């Protein structure tokens, strides 16, 4: 190969770059000086982090891509990784430019560039250790796992999670209660002793999550059907277990359905007898009594039947004679739902009363719109005409068409499927509404009293403003636990917009971190913007030296169903840019922790934050072998 000789850059090229970089540095310092009042009340250590955040926000207020292109052509730093040490990055670049230009350098020690450069990186690392504890063996990132109620009853599950790599147990205060939480934590402490590994506890306060009320209850219907082959032939009859009302262990795990009936009537059933009845559709059905025992009775059904409260079971003896009858009672009612599709109207009312389903005619045309309840007056006070509203994590979206003091009329504009079910207790997002809700509800304050006594970290859900952080600080001070670690969950468009100001307030806490809650953020900011939002939050938090937790749907397919997708593996690998990753609960959670542990160990060799170290590649080693190039 012929070598190419490149000419040296013009001398004035370095002069121009020095002027540009020096001007940029002066601008950054000037902007930070104008906002220095926000640094009051911070400790010296936190003061440096807050000042660096101000520097970074000033840097990112300009488009420096033309400058970056020029620097890259000279093989110099393009300022692509300045987050943790903004001024140090600029000062290092200026030193190199002056050296290349032949200008006289400052005296040694006059610009302690390299020590300052390391300070920011070390500070972030120190803050992560303070919040989450020491790194586990062979891994830099921490793994947080949300507990299911099973963790309170199943010690082995918690033991396996700790052994597999969990370093922080997350308890969601939306679910369960103090007795269940206490048992989860007790199991964790036993697992720590047994494994010799430490694991912290994060208790997530529910926060001002917007949720619909319940829907009206409909009479319970039980569908019982046999197992059929693909051609419709019955492979085996449905197995039904009849037991006496009030009996312990009334449900039989191996049964397709369990029914509680009158004990006296049940005692008169014998093998070979039949039960005759008319189901809820008016179809006549017959069940065969296969076996009668002291604890109950096994019955077989070869045809599908729909049962409701009031269904009468008539006993027919083997000899054809009629026996006594009984009535099925106590089937649990089912909560209704409203069907919605694009173009429909939906009413949202300020009430505690259960919602009602929409009414359609025989041609599926909407006659009466569905109605859901939302007992949060602040929503009706703050929402405005034309603002968007989403339900159930964005499955259903619409616009506010009419506003009344206690009623909203929503025009549905989007559903993920042609027709969607809107059920009760589903979440609501109002991305463009300037909603003013208290940071801590009455329940949050009760849960916080438990959390400060039993956990290592407290999660503040739906952190929207610096005032929310101040509210939590005040509550922790009242409870005498200002030292506890705090995780700020950024879940809304407002929280994302206010993130720099929120972090400046959070730096007044002894230990704090931020969670990128991608579920609500995707709905609030738009799925098409989620990647951009995620990156910007990572950069801003790094500039403030605040550890980050990446959350929502990490390895979700594996966790829930036992099957991982290619996209999930890539997503989990990119989580190396955060200090911690959170997995949600699922029946395959142990396997998910094991896989995430392995992915993080592998990926930490390839990149950390925005730094991509060039380790030796096995693939490149083949260049030394002649057969590597053989056709």
Q: Are residues 340 and 424 in the same domain?
A: yes
Q: Are residues 274 and 292 in the same domain?
A: yes
The answer to whether position 56 is within a domain reads yes
Q: Are residues 505 and 596 in the same domain?
A: yes
Residue 145 structure tokens? 């796992």
Give dist(CA 179, CA 182) in Å, integer: 5
The answer to whether position 121 is within a domain reads no
The answer to whether position 599 is within a domain reads yes
What angle, rounded to 10 degrees, do the helices at 530-543 and 44-59 form? 140
Q: Are residues 286 and 365 in the same domain?
A: no
The answer to whether position 125 is within a domain reads no
CATH code (residue 200): 3.20.20.60
The answer to whether position 615 is within a domain reads no
Give dist(CA 353, CA 50) in Å, integer: 48
Q: What is the pLDDT of residue 107?
A: 57
Q: Are residues 579 and 471 in the same domain?
A: yes
Positions of the chain with pLDDT lower than 50, given as ranges: 110-111, 248
The answer to whether position 196 is within a domain reads yes
Q: Which of 76, 111, 146 is the last residue of a domain?
A: 111
Instruction: Specify whether the CB–CB gap between 534 and 441 falls below 8 A.
Output: no
Residue 389 structure tokens? 């509203």
Q: Which of 384, 408, 429 is the last residue of a domain?
A: 429
Q: Give residue 192's domain range.
A: 131-208+437-603
Q: Are residues 175 and 230 in the same domain?
A: no
Q: Are residues 277 and 312 in the same domain?
A: yes
Residue 618 structure tokens? 């096995």
Q: Are residues 466 and 581 in the same domain?
A: yes
Burial (0-12, 13-18, 19+ Cβ within 10 Å), 302: middle
Q: Are residues 311 and 365 in the same domain?
A: no
Question: Is pTM, for the whole model, over 0.75?
Answer: yes
- Mean pLDDT computed over every residue of the chain: 91
End-to-end CA distance of the chain: 21
CATH code (residue 319): 2.40.33
The answer to whether position 625 is within a domain reads no
Q: Are residues 461 and 587 in the same domain?
A: yes
Q: Are residues 382 and 284 in the same domain?
A: no
Q: What is the pLDDT of residue 499?
A: 97
Q: What is the pLDDT of residue 252?
A: 77
Q: Which of 386, 412, 429 is the last residue of a domain?
A: 429
Residue found under tokens 């943790």: 84
Q: Are residues 386 and 500 in the same domain?
A: no
Count of domains for the chain: 4
The answer to whether position 352 is within a domain reads yes
């Amino acid at each position: 190969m012929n070598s190419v000789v490149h000419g040296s850059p013009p001398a004035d090229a370095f002069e121009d770059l020095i002027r540009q970089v020096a001007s940029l540095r002066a601008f950054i310092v000037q902007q930070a000086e104008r906002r220095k009042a926000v640094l009051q009340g911070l400790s010296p250590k936190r003061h440096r982090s807050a000042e660096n955040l101000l520097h970074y926000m000033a840097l990112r207020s300009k488009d420096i891509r033309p400058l970056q292109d020029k620097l890259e052509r000279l093989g110099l730093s393009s300022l692509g990784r300045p987050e943790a040490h903004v001024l140090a990055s600029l000062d290092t670049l200026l030193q190199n430019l002056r050296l290349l230009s032949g200008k006289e350098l400052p005296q040694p020690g006059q610009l302690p560039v390299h020590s300052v450069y390391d300070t920011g990186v070390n500070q972030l690392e120190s803050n992560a250790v303070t919040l989450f504890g020491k790194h586990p063996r062979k891994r830099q990132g921490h793994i947080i796992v949300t507990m299911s109620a099973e963790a309170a009853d199943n010690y082995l599950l918690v033991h396996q999670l700790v052994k597999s790599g969990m370093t922080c147990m997350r308890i969601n205060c939306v679910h369960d209660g103090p007795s269940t939480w206490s048992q989860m934590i007790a199991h964790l402490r036993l697992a720590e002793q047994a494994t010799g590994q430490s694991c912290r506890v994060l208790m997530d306060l529910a926060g001002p999550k917007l949720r619909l009320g319940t829907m009206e209850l409909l009479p319970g219907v039980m569908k019982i059907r046999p197992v059929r082959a693909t051609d419709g032939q019955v492979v085996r009859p449905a197995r039904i277990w009849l037991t006496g009302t009030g009996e312990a262990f009334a449900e039989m795990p191996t049964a397709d359905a369990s029914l509680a009936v009158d004990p006296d009537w049940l005692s008169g059933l014998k093998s070979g007898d039949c039960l005759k009845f008319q189901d809820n559709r008016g179809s006549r059905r017959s069940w065969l009594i296969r076996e009668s025992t002291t604890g109950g009775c096994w019955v077989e059904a070869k045809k599908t039947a729909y049962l409701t409260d009031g269904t009468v079971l008539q006993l027919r003896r083997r000899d054809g004679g009629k026996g006594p009858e009984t009535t099925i009672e106590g089937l649990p009612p089912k909560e209704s739902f409203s069907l919605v599709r694009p173009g429909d109207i939906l009413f949202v009312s300020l009430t505690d009363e259960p919602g009602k389903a929409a009414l359609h005619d025989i041609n599926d045309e909407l006659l009466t719109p569905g109605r859901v309840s939302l007992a949060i007056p602040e929503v009706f006070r703050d929402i405005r005409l034309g603002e968007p509203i989403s339900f159930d994590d964005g499955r259903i979206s619409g616009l506010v068409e009419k506003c009344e003091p206690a009623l909203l009329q929503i025009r549905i504009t989007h559903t993920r499927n042609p027709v969607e079910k809107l059920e009760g207790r589903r979440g609501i997002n109002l991305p463009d509404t300037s909603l003013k809700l208290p940071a801590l509800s009455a329940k949050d304050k009760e849960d916080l009293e438990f959390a400060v006594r039993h956990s290592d970290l407290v999660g503040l859900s739906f952190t929207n403003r610096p005032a929310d952080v101040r509210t939590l600080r005040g509550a922790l001070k009242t409870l005498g636990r200002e030292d506890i670690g705090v995780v700020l969950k950024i879940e809304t468009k407002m929280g994302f917009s206010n993130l720099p100001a929120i972090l400046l307030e959070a730096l007044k806490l002894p230990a704090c971190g931020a969670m990128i809650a991608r579920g609500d953020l995707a709905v609030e900011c738009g799925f098409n913007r989620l990647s951009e939002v995620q990156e910007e939050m990572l950069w801003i938090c790094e500039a403030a030296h605040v550890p980050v937790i990446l959350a929502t749907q990490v390895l979700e397919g594996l966790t829930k169903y036992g099957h991982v997708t290619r996209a999930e593996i890539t997503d989990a690998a990119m989580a190396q840019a955060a200090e911690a990753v959170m997995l949600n609960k699922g029946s395959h959670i142990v396997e998910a922790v094991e896989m995430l542990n392995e992915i993080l160990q592998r990926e930490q060799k390839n990149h950390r934050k925005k730094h991509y170290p060039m380790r030796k590649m096995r693939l490149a080693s083949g260049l030394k072998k002649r057969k590597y190039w053989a056709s």
